[in-house]
Structure 1
Amino acid sequence: MNHPVSLFQPPVWHRRDWLLRVGVSLCATPALAQSGGAATLPAAQSLPDELARALKNKQPLIVMVSLEGCVFCRQARQSHLSPMQKTGTVIVQVDMRQNQPVLDFAGKLTTHDQLTRQWKVSITPTLLFFGPGGNEVAERMEGAYLPDFYGPYLEERIVQGRKAL
């Protein structure tokens, strides 16, 4: 005898579906809703020059690897990175899957996409913290964090990077 499928069975949630739903709900914060405009960061053009500016301020260079349409990237830019950049922290963006030209730390012309592959970045947003010689001086921040903890984790990495300088 065939039993009919109940229309009121609870859904089976797969990990990907759960992460997507949680991520979308986390990004729908009041700060995002009140902002009005999209926050932007300058695109990386010359990593040696950008690193020199950061080191002059006794700070690591922060590079955000982003992906067009990434809601987590937009949230990180809007809530944390753009305000920091406006106060003088040197932060640039490298866009995954974009062929925009950029000078790498060795002074060679490459593209944003080639840099992300060279750095083995596979998730966005990823924040990298660079010091002298283009070496990473703090642990990477990969992916989205809970909004309440993103700022403290970011500050922790910046302090770690400063100590390594």
Structure 2
Amino acid sequence: MKYLMIFLGLLIGFPLALATENETDHEKLISVVEASNLYADGQSARIEGKAILLLISQEHCSFCVQIKQEVIGPMIRSGAYNKRLIIRELLLDTGSDVIDFKGVRRGNHDFSYDYKVTLTPTLLFLDAAGNELAAKMVGIQTPDMFYYYVDQSIQEALGSLDRQAKR
């Protein structure tokens, strides 16, 4: 009976241990707020003087996961970009809709075509109206330097935003 209880404990506990391990790995992946209403995000960006970083990704894209783990996650955790940047993610493989910058509900794929996005991950650097402030980044070039390049694009976008505000 004692061995049966141990066996049952292992049988039940092992899957729970695996689930806990997987949850721990998943927790390392910072959740990026899904883009659902870019019109509202645009209004917030306009009022707060922020740019919008839009990650266009897919759930089963290993490079998208890598960007979230190695670039977007650390950016969010650091808090260094909170005052000037709204970060959103648009998933192409969920069949979801998004309210675009004009307030129109559209499919995520349809929306992404406006920006000529055909590969994931793609990073867009946008103003409150959805205009590109810096060149989009497609894929991950030079992984060791990618965070630096993203930060440079963010700084370029913020500079463009500041020049717009002065007009």
Task: Give the structure-2-normalised TM-score.
Answer: 0.71
1:80, 1:56 → 2: CA distance?
Answer: 26
2:47, 2:131 → 1: CA distance?
Answer: 16
Gaps of 5+ in 1: 1-34
Alignment of 1:98-109 (within 5 A): 98-109=94-105
Q: Are 2:73 and 1:82 aligned?
A: yes
Alignment of 1:13-32 (within 5 A): none
Maintained 8 Å contact 1:39/1:74: no
The structure with the greater share of residues assigned to helix is 2
Task: Give the structure-1-normalised TM-score.
Answer: 0.72
**SS of residue matched to 1:137:** strand
Q: Pick one of 34, 45, 59 that aligns with 2:36.
A: 45
Which residue identity is paired with 1:63?
L
The structure with the greater share of residues assigned to strand is 2
Gaps of 5+ in 2: 1-23, 162-167
**Runs of 4+ more than 6 Å apart:** none
1:2-45 superposed Cα distances (whole Å, 9 cap, x missing partner): xxxxxxxxxxxxxxxxxxxxxxxxxxxxxxxxx72233211101
Maintained 8 Å contact 2:52/2:128: no
Q: Which residue number in structure 1 is paired with residue 17 of structure 2?
A: none
2:101, 2:76 → 1: CA distance?
Answer: 21
1:126-147 superposed Cα distances (whole Å, 9 cap, x missing partner): 0001114211100111011222
**SS of residue matched to 1:52:** helix
Q: Which residue number in structure 2 is paired with residue 36 of structure 1?
A: 25
Question: Over aligned residue pairs, what C-alpha RMSD do you find?
Answer: 1.8
Q: Which of 1 and 2 has greater Rg?
A: 2
The number of residue pairs the alignment matches comes to: 131
Percent identity of the aligned residues?
Answer: 27
